[in-house]
Amino acid sequence: MFALLLLQLLHAGFGSPVTSQRSFGIDYAHNCFLKDGKPFRYISGSFHYSRVPRYYWKDRLLKMKMAGLDAIQTYVPWNFHEVEPGVYNFAGDRDLESFLRLADEIGLLVILRAGPYICAEWDMGGLPAWLLEKETIALRSSDADYLAAVERWMGVLLPKMKVHLYQNGGPIIMVQVENEYGSYFACDFDYLRYLQSLFHQHLGDEVVLFTTDGASKFLLRCGTLQGLYSTVDFGPGANVTASFLNQRHAEPNGPLVNSEFYTGWLDHWGHRHSVISSSLVAKTLSEILAHGGNVNMYMFIGGTNFGYWNGANMPYAAQPTSYDYDAPLSEAGDLTKKYFAIREVIAMYKTIPQGPIPPSTPKFAYGEVPLKKVGTVRDLLNDLSPSGPIKSTYPLTFVQVKQYVGYVLYRTKLPRNCTEEPLYSTLNGIHDRAYVVVDGIPQGVLERSRIVALNITGSAGAHLDLLVENMGRVNFGRYNNDFKGLVSNLTLGNETLADWEIYPLDIDTAVSQGLKNKRSGGNGSSNEEPSFYTGSFSIPSGIPDLPQDTYIAFPGWTKGQIWINGFNLGRYWPTRGPQLTLFVPSNILVSSFLNNVTVLELEKSPCGAQKCFVEFVDKPVLNATLHYESSTEKLFTKDLWPNHR
Ligand SMILES: *[C@@H]1O[C@H](CO)[C@@H](O)[C@H](O)[C@H]1NC(C)=O
Ligand SMILES: *[C@@H]1O[C@H](CO)[C@@H](O)[C@H](O)[C@H]1NC(C)=O
Ligand SMILES: *[C@@H]1O[C@H](CO)[C@@H](O)[C@H](O)[C@H]1NC(C)=O
Ligand SMILES: *[C@@H]1O[C@H](CO)[C@@H](O)[C@H](O)[C@H]1NC(C)=O
Ligand SMILES: *[C@@H]1O[C@H](CO)[C@@H](O)[C@H](O)[C@H]1NC(C)=O
Ligand SMILES: *[C@@H]1O[C@H](CO)[C@@H](O)[C@H](O)[C@H]1NC(C)=O
Ligand SMILES: *[C@@H]1O[C@H](CO)[C@@H](O)[C@H](O)[C@H]1NC(C)=O
Ligand SMILES: *[C@@H]1O[C@H](CO)[C@@H](O)[C@H](O)[C@H]1NC(C)=O
């Protein structure tokens, strides 16, 4: 049915053939864009291909087309593609060019936000962590090493993008340079000029380059540059007239553009789930369109921070796995009340496509899946860390051991017998959470900015293990140089600990190869030591259209990471919330074999005397904050809203 719809759209003349007249530009005299020489206004929605499995790209794009959108806007996360210096990945879910071709086939234009920095609640704002190998690097500035890395990356990305520019027959009408640079402290115009010339060098002189900043004179000051078209962002409830007047301050003539009109808002672990009412979104959207403004709705579909891709804000608070964003299409691509409210507003200003809207996908509750312990991280260490430990007198960071995401095990020996002796990091150097074990006896947790000391008991010579979790790098503000691991010395009592063995852990490879405990099975008796658990389930037969999408819930579990058939779904943390269930897209499930579930529980599992399980359910729960922190929440709201993304 989707294929049929696509054909109808194509026959209706979308995705028109290449002609020599294709052009896109700005008409300053008439305050509008010009497409093929005619006045043009766009209504767009953000869709980050990195947050939706490729399998579902077409479904989401069709739903956006059917809402009446002219365009989609996407970020390009540099760290998603240049995984190690000079090593590029544009395959599978990272196949940006296929994404662009699909948008084009469906008749959607593309506004490309090419970076290098993107914010986006994405790990380190899209900057690769390996940039931090130069510890003093000044990110987002004219720092020579930073620029050399940017030049190499853009030399790979932009030539690929050139053929997809509108004037070259593709869907890309505009390319954003940097992101909300006016909110960054560096205010380095040489850097913006450098990017401007680099982008033109690869994309030609004709391309429309633009910037986006918060709609205030102050934020526009350092974010704008002659020759880069200045646009603004603001959310529902803002004074539209006043916001666009601020754009006029930077750009006296030309089209009015809100590049990020917030349909919802982001979440943090331990904070209330963000919700923005459909009626307020519809009302302000209508005002923007009535002003003749161009608009991009951020997000139209938020999607998921799979794996380790979530970012964090300061004071340190990480974003959860779901990036639902309370957007008009849910994390799972479902049509919401907000979708229809927005579609109705758009229909007041332009003709929207007729015909069936692809329906929400059905969800299936596969039920409980019993899990069994495979072993502790200690038991499995040889498989998890095939390279073995790196020895160092003092701790090294993740980047120093060339591991950028996930977990690293730091091990030393207790220098003496200890009874209730405080272990602490004077410089708040636990980035971001450490699960502490002495010879198999769990001692507790240390957490950045929250839990700075922990009492240790054990005898001289015992292994002191800290499994340190990178919970996501800061994506906004001056704190992007976010080193992970033990970033300062640890003190036990009055003594600085030394002689570390540091185990980089390649958990994802070990999980996809199937974890086996070669030591006496299920040894670690404690259910409070970081451990792996596995189970399997089959898709019921005799029910049509399975496998379907589902959500996974964690009854009695505390905090950890989960894989299904080797696909890293992300982090769960039901004891903190607000997210209780994780989205499981159907494309990672198989109906011909057993599906494997692997859980790394970091704190405390429900397994023990009673049986323990995870449960597949057919409804998400994203709003059950259990551990609500009002003081920092106010801070985030004040600091980040509405001039941030
Ligand atoms: C919105 O801003 C405009 C321009 O600054 C101002 O004239 C108007 O009174 C404002 N409207 C409201 C409701 O504050
Ligand atoms: C340390 O504790 C062990 C028992 O756990 C004991 O045998 C040993 O004598 C103690 N050493 C010191 C120096 O107290
Ligand atoms: C550690 O133990 C000491 C002595 O028992 C106690 O006073 C202190 O509060 C404990 N500290 C922590 C962080 O639990
Ligand atoms: C740890 O302490 C040693 C000795 O004081 C010092 O040389 C080293 O720089 C410290 N390391 C960190 C990461 O603070
Ligand atoms: C550490 O404290 C112990 C007793 O609490 C003391 O005997 C020892 O001299 C101290 N060591 C240092 C290096 O201060
Ligand atoms: C667990 O394994 C350790 C070796 O890692 C061994 O010393 C211990 O006896 C085992 N315990 C049980 C209960 O099997
Ligand atoms: C699940 O694991 C089993 C045993 O390792 C393996 O045979 C099977 O192929 C796996 N299934 C999938 C879908 O990966
Ligand atoms: C959570 O969301 C559901 C579904 O939208 C809603 O019914 C429920 O009232 C919400 N709960 C809280 C605590 O906000």
111 and 235 share one domain: yes
**Position 33 in a domain:** no
One domain for residues 459 and 559: no
Q: Given 348, 377, 403, which residue is the final one in a domain? A: 348
Answer yes or no: do 161 and 258 share one domain: yes
CATH number of the domain bearing residue 146:
3.20.20.80
Q: Which residues make Cβ contacts (< 8 Å) with residue 107, sequence separation at least 6?
A: 9, 10, 14, 15, 65
pLDDT > 70: percent of the chain: 93
Q: Does residue 278 belong to any structural domain of this protein?
A: yes
Please tell me the predicted confidence (pLDDT) of residue 610. 77
Which among 348, 376, 409 is the end of a domain? 348
**pTM (predicted TM-score):** 0.93
In a domain? residue 624: no
pLDDT at 524: 52
Higher-pLDDT residue of 334 and 11 is 334
110 and 230 share a domain? Answer: yes
CATH value at residue 483? 2.60.120.260
Together in a domain, 499 and 541: no
Question: Using 50, 70 and 90 to split pLDDT, how confident is the model at 10?
Answer: very low
pLDDT exceeding 90 applies to what percent of the chain?
Answer: 90
Of 348, 374, 399, the residue that ends a domain is 348
Mean pLDDT of 487-494: 96
* Same domain, residue pair 204 and 127: yes
For 613-628, the pLDDT digits (tens) are: 999 999 999 999 776 6
Asked whether residue 563 is domain-assigned, the answer is yes
pLDDT in tens, 374-396: 999 999 999 999 999 999 999 99
Question: From the alpha carbon of 460, which atom of ligand 2 is closest?
Answer: 1
> Is residue 417 within 6 Å of ligand 2 at its C-beta?
yes
Domain span holding position 533: 528-617
Mutational pocket test of ligand 5: of 416, 419, 491, 494, the residue with most ligand atoms within 8 Å of the beta carbon:
494
- 3-class DSSP assignment, residue 630: helix
Ligand 2 centre from 419 Cα, in Å? 11
- Determine whether the shortest distance from the Cβ of 520 to ligand 6 is under 6 A: yes
Q: Are residues 335 and 395 in the same domain?
A: no
Q: Is residue 15 part of a domain?
A: no
User: Which ligand 7 atom is the nearest neighbour of the CA of 590?
Assistant: 13
Residue 522, pLDDT > 90, answer: no
How crowded is residue 460: how many other Cβ atoms within 10 Å of its Cβ? 10
Q: Give tens-digit pLDDT for 14-49.
A: 444 444 589 999 999 999 999 999 999 999 999 999
**Domain identity same for 339 and 456:** no
Of 305, 61, 298, nearest in space to 179 by CA: 298
pLDDT for position 625: 74
Q: What is the pLDDT of residue 426?
A: 83
Per-residue pLDDT at 611 = 86
**Whole-number mean pLDDT of the chain?**
93
Please, what is the end-to-end C-alpha distance for the chain in angstroms?
36
Residue 340 sits in the same domain as residue 406: no
pLDDT for position 628: 63
pLDDT at 8: 47
Q: Is residue 453 part of a domain?
A: yes
Same domain, 568 and 437: no
Burial class (CB in 10 A: 0-12, 13-18, 19+), 630: exposed
Residues paired with 266 in a beta bridge: none
Q: Does 636 map to a domain?
A: no
Name the domain count of the chain.
Answer: 3
Over residues 158-178, the mean pLDDT reads: 98
Q: What is the mean pLDDT of residues 213-220?
A: 95
Residue 645: inside a domain, yes or no? no
Residues serving a catalytic function are 180, 260
Same domain, 250 and 130: yes
pLDDT tier at 299, thresholds 50, 70, 90: very high
Residue 644 has pLDDT above 50, yes or no: no
Q: pLDDT at residue 405 above 50?
A: yes
Contact 497, 418 (CB under 8 A): no
Closest ligand 2 atom, residue 417 Cα: 1
Based on the fold, state whether residues 153 and 222 are members of the same structural domain.
Answer: yes
